[in-house]
Amino acid sequence: LGTGAFALVLILIVVGIAVLLADQSILSIQKFGLNFWRTSTWDPVAGDFGALPFIWGTLYSSILALLIATPVALGIAVFISELCPDRLRQPLVFLTELLAAIPSIVYGLWGIFVLVPAVRALETSLPDALRHTPLFSGPPLGIGMLSAGLVLAVMVTPFTASVSREVLKAVPAAQREAAYALGATRFEAIRAALYFARTGIVGAIMLGFGRALGETMAVTMVIGNNPRVSLSLLAPQYTMAAVIANEFSEAANQLYLSALVEIGLVLFIITLIVNSLSRLLIWSMTRSSGIAFEAEPDTGPEPDLGEAPA
C-alpha cells in the first residue's frame, strides 16, 4: 500500500495550492475586502487595487468564446459520431485533437501577426450604423475583445467537441433506431439523441468554459491588456490570467503581489467550481447510460477488471 503515499501527493498538491494562494492573498483581502472586486482602479504606484476589469474581461472573453465555439463544436461532434463515413472518422478525430495540442504561445503568435490584422480589416469595414452601437464602439485596433474571443473559441472547440462526441457515443443505439422507426428525419433523430445527452453536453460546454477562463498566453497577446470595463468588442481589455502573466514578476511590494495572488486565488476557485460541475454532469450522463448499455444484448458483458481478493 506504499503506492497510496504517492497518491496522497496528488491531494497534497491541490490542497497546497489552495492554502498557499489563500495565505499569500491575506494582505490584499484584509485591506480591500469585497471592494477589490467592485472597483476598477489599478494603480500599483499608489497602492490602489481594484480587480473588476480583470474579472469582467475574463468572463466576457470566455462567454464570447463559448458563443462562437459551442455550435461549431457540437456540429463537429455530431458530424464525426453520426454522419461521417467510417474511413474519415479517425483522421478527423486526429485533426480536431491536433487543434488542442498546438501550444498556447503558437496561437498567440499567430493571433498577433495573422488574426489581429484580419480582425482589424473586418472592424474597419463595419457599417457606420453598427459602429454607433455600444457593442462596436471605439477605434478599430484589431487588438481587443473580439480577437481574444476568436482565439479562445478556436482553442476550446476541440475540448467541447471531443467530450460531446464521447457523450453522444453513450446514447443507446436503440434510442436512435426508435426515432427512425417512427419516421424521423436524420435531423430529428439526432436532435432526439442530443436531447437525451443534454446533461453531458452541458458538461462538455462547461469544460470548454473552464479552459477558456484559465487560458493565458494567447489571450495576453491579443486582448490589448488595458484594464477597463467595456461592452465593446473592439476595445482592448484585460483578463485575470493576463494581468498575472504580465505583472507578477514585476510586483515590487507585498501589497501588489498580494493583490495579484488574490486574483489567482479567485481564478483557481472559479475554474475549480466550473470544472467540478462539468465533470459531475458528464459523469452522471455516461454512468446512467452505462446501465442502459448493459441492457443491450450486442455490446456484451463488461470485461472483468479483476477485483482480486486481497
Partner 1 sequence: MTGLRLRKVASSLFVAFCAFSVILALIPLALIFFFVISQGILALNLNFFVHMPTPVGEPGGGMANAIVGTLILTALAALMAVPIGVVSGVYMSEYGGTRFAAAVRFAADTLNGVPSIVIGMFAYGVVVLPFKQFSAIAGGFALGIMMIPIIARTTEELLLLVPGSLREGALALGASRARAVFSVVVPAAAPGIVTGVVLALARIAGETAPLLFTSFNNRFFTIRLNQPISSLTVQVFTYAISPYADWHRQAWAGALVLVTIVLICSLLARLATHRLERMHAH
Calculate the alpha carbon distances from 205 to 119, 143, 148, 186, 213 in Å. 25, 26, 18, 23, 12
> Minimal distance in Å, beta carbon 71 to partner 1?
7
Considering only residues 116, 156, 167, 261, which one is a binding residue for partner 1 as defined by CB under 8 A? 261
Verify binding: residue 16, partner 1, rule CB under 8 A.
yes
CB 201 within 8 A of CB 74: yes
140 contributes a contact to partner 1 by CB under 8 A: no
Stretch that binds partner 1, among 28-36, 93-101, 131-139, 287-295 (CB under 8 A): 93-101
| Residue 306 interacting with partner 1 (CB under 8 A) | yes
Report DSSP letters for 213-269, one per residue. HH--HHHHHHSB--------TTS-B--HHHHHHHHGGG--SHHHHHHHHHHHHHHHH
The smaller minimum CB distance to partner 1, of residues 123 and 215, is found at: 215
Please choose, out of 112-120, 170-178, 226-234, 292-300, the segment that lies near partner 1 by the rule CB under 8 A: 112-120
Residue 42 DSSP SS3 = strand
Answer yes or no whether residue 187 interacts with partner 1 by CB under 8 A.
Answer: yes
| Under rule CB under 8 A, residue 221 binds partner 1 | yes
Q: Does 216 contact partner 1 by CB under 8 A?
A: yes
271 binds partner 1 per the rule CB under 8 A: yes
Nearer Cβ to partner 1 (92/173): 92
CA 18 to chain centre: 21
Total interface residues for partner 1 by CB under 8 A: 86
Separation of alpha carbons 111 and 119, rounded Å: 10
Q: Which residues contact 184 (CB under 8 A, 6 or more apart)?
A: 192
Q: Does 190 bind partner 1 (CB under 8 A)?
A: yes
Binder of partner 1 out of 40, 63, 89, 104 (CB under 8 A): 104
Which residue in the set 39, 199, 226, 275 belongs to the binding site for partner 1 (CB under 8 A)? 275
CB-CB contact of 24 with 264 (8 Å): no
Cα 119 from Cα 121, distance rounded (Å): 5
